[in-house]
């Protein structure tokens, strides 16, 4: 450090920036995981709604003895959908995944990024015929198959938003990791020993020392010869 105080100061600043960026990268990774879990829930919702649509279609088969055979499954699936409308039932590290009350904002490397917490309750109840997919007790409660399509369209829109936000976070993560790599390399150039240069300098010093020793040896030898001649 005493040899290059200026380099040390710059190195400390770079190290601080690297540490902050690594913290930002961790925040981004958590946010991406949040969205992945959220998308899994939305995918489950879509699959349940599609199954309800399938049951509605099968109940309209005139060759069947009655549609009530599907009522029990419809009731169970509807009850499962209802669990997604209660924010506290679905959490990521104690943070609500599906919550219409408010979105989340994370800050990473000076940029604020919004993460949506979707209004699933509205998606499951806002249909053409006002069917509430969270309160079905019989297949006949699904007034029209078009209601299934209404819900699926809304859920698809939520998943599209989720995917767009996840992509934004991934791009930001790439940007942050690139900065970490470049700053680490810059810090290394300032503080790390240049092995090639130091090796060359050591070899040069060794040659100079050997040359000096050789000259001293030659001088001593000449003195010995002169003394011999004088005897």
Return per-residue pLDDT of the chain as tens, 231 residues: 445 667 778 888 989 999 999 999 999 999 999 999 999 999 999 999 999 999 998 888 766 666 678 899 999 999 999 999 887 888 998 888 987 768 899 888 888 999 998 888 888 887 777 788 999 999 988 888 888 998 999 899 999 999 999 999 999 999 999 999 999 988 887 776 555 665 667 677 777 777 776 776 666 665 555 555 555
- The structure's pTM equals 0.76
Distance CA 125, CA 45 (A): 13
Distance CA 69, CA 81 (A): 20
Please check whether residue 157 is in contact with residue 42, taking contact to mean a CB–CB distance below 8 angstroms: no
Structure tokens at 49: 């709604």
Task: Provide the pLDDT for residue 107.
Answer: 87
Distance CA 134, CA 29 (A): 33
Structure tokens at 14: 């770079």
Distance CA 114, CA 122 (A): 21
Task: Provide the pLDDT for residue 119.
Answer: 82
Structure tokens at 199: 């090796």
Distance CA 203, CA 206 (A): 5
Distance CA 84, CA 49 (A): 12
Domain boundaries, the chain: 5-191, 194-231
Distance CA 192, CA 187 (A): 8
5-191 is classed CATH 1.20.1330.10: yes
Distance CA 116, CA 101 (A): 10
In 121-130, which positions are buried (b, 16+ CB within 10 angstroms) versus exposed (e)?
A: bebbbbbeee
3-state SS of 192-214 is: CCCHHHHHHHHHHHHHHHHHHHH
Report which DSSP code applies to 100: S
């Amino acid at each position: 450090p005493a040899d290059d105080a200026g380099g040390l100061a710059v190195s400390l600043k770079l190290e601080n920036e690297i540490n902050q960026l690594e913290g930002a990268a961790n925040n981004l990774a958590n946010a991406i995981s949040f969205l992945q879990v959220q998308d899994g829930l939305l995918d489950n919702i879509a699959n349940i709604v599609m199954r309800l649509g399938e049951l509605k279609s099968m109940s309209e088969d005139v060759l069947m003895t009655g549609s009530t055979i599907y009522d029990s499954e419809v009731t169970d699936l509807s009850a499962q959908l209802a669990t997604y409308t209660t924010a506290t039932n679905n959490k990521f590290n104690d943070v609500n995944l599906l919550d219409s009350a408010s979105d989340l904002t994370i800050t990473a490397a000076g940029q604020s990024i919004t993460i949506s917490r979707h209004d699933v309750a509205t998606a499951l109840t806002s249909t053409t015929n006002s069917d509430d997919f969270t309160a079905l007790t019989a297949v006949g409660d699904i007034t029209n198959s078009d209601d299934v399509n209404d819900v699926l369209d809304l859920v698809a829109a939520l998943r599209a938003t989720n995917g767009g936000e996840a992509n934004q976070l991934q791009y930001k993560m790439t940007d942050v990791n690139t900065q970490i790599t470049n700053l680490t390399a810059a810090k290394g150039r300032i503080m790390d020993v240049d092995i090639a240069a130091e090796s060359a300098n050591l070899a040069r010093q060794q040659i100079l020392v050997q040359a000096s020793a050789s000259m001293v040896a030659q001088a001593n030898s000449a003195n010995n010869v002169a003394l011999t001649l004088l005897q």
